Amino acid sequence: MQGILGKKLGMTRVVNEDGNYVPVTIVQCSENVIHQLKNIEKDGYNAVVLGFAPRKHPTKTKKFYYVREVKVETLDQLEKGAKVAADAVLSAGDRVSVTGVTKGKGTQGVMKRWNFHGGPGGHGSHFKREPGSVGARAKPGKIHRGKKMSGHMGSETQTLRTSVAYIDSAKNLIGIKGPVPGSINSYVTIKKLATK
């Protein structure tokens, strides 16, 4: 298996062999359960559907808060309902991709959303945090698609590539080097990258 699900707990720092501080994000992976198995005969490929964070009141179709699919080469020694530990999938130094949903920031203006410079802020200025001109004249008579304007910011799925700093097998914690998308207590998917 090449992936595992987890919950972002926060950030801290560790000291490496050179004595330098390394910022890490702590991800808890203690509740991974194999929810479903997919095989080549029925689905066309081998994969495992992992469930994370069991619901307090599960229904027939919803048993976990977070469910994601991870492809595997073979289904040997994998069975439905088995628990997956963090150290069984990853080890320190592995290159991984981490996918999560970024923090939502609501509707924002052009200065915060696109880093526009803005206008003068003195008295009498009618151009402070406004976007400025947005269109042409009668021809083309419209605003082109993709124009940088104010609007919704954040709450987007983002994937970052990084590495595993350390693994705490006793507590099922993974220390991932650098930041991870999402707020504290948000769910993330960690997938092991193939080494060249």
| CATH number, domain with residue 155 | 2.40.30.10
Asked if residue 128 belongs to a domain, the reply is no
User: By the 8 A CB rule, do 65 and 53 touch?
Assistant: yes
Total structural domains within the chain: 1
pLDDT in tens, 99-139: 999 999 999 999 999 999 999 989 999 899 999 888 888 88
d(CA 105, CA 8): 19
The pLDDT of 88-96, averaged and rounded, is: 89
Provide the terminal-to-terminal Cα distance of the chain, rounded to the nearest Å: 18
User: By the 8 A CB rule, do 8 and 33 touch?
Assistant: no
Q: What's the domain range around 180?
A: 3-121+146-192
Q: What is the DSSP letter of 34?
A: E
Q: Where are the alpha helices (DSSP H) in 44-170?
A: 110-114
Asked if residue 129 belongs to a domain, the reply is no
d(CA 58, CA 25): 30
Asked if residue 131 belongs to a domain, the reply is no
Residue 196 has pLDDT above 70, yes or no: no
pLDDT in tens, 65-87: 999 998 888 888 888 888 888 88
Asked if residue 182 belongs to a domain, the reply is yes
Asked if residue 102 belongs to a domain, the reply is yes
Q: Work out the number of other CB atoms within 10 angstroms of the CB of residue 132.
A: 10
Structure-token match 């919803």, residue found: 62
Torsion, CA 152, CA 156, CA 162, CA 163, rounded to 10: 130
User: By the 8 A CB rule, do 6 and 188 touch?
Assistant: yes
- For 14, residues 6+ apart whose C-beta sits below 8 A from its C-beta are 21, 22, 24, 165, 166, 175
Structure-token match 């990853």, residue found: 90
CA–centroid distance for 73 within its chain? 24
Asked if residue 107 belongs to a domain, the reply is yes
User: By the 8 A CB rule, do 134 and 116 touch?
Assistant: no
Banded model confidence at residue 60, pLDDT cuts 50, 70, 90: confident
Q: Report the SS3 class of residue 155.
A: coil
**How many alpha carbons fall within 13 Å on the CB side of residue 9?**
15
pLDDT in tens, 11-40: 999 998 888 999 999 999 987 899 989 988
Residue 1 has pLDDT above 80, yes or no: no
Asked if residue 139 belongs to a domain, the reply is no
Asked if residue 136 belongs to a domain, the reply is no
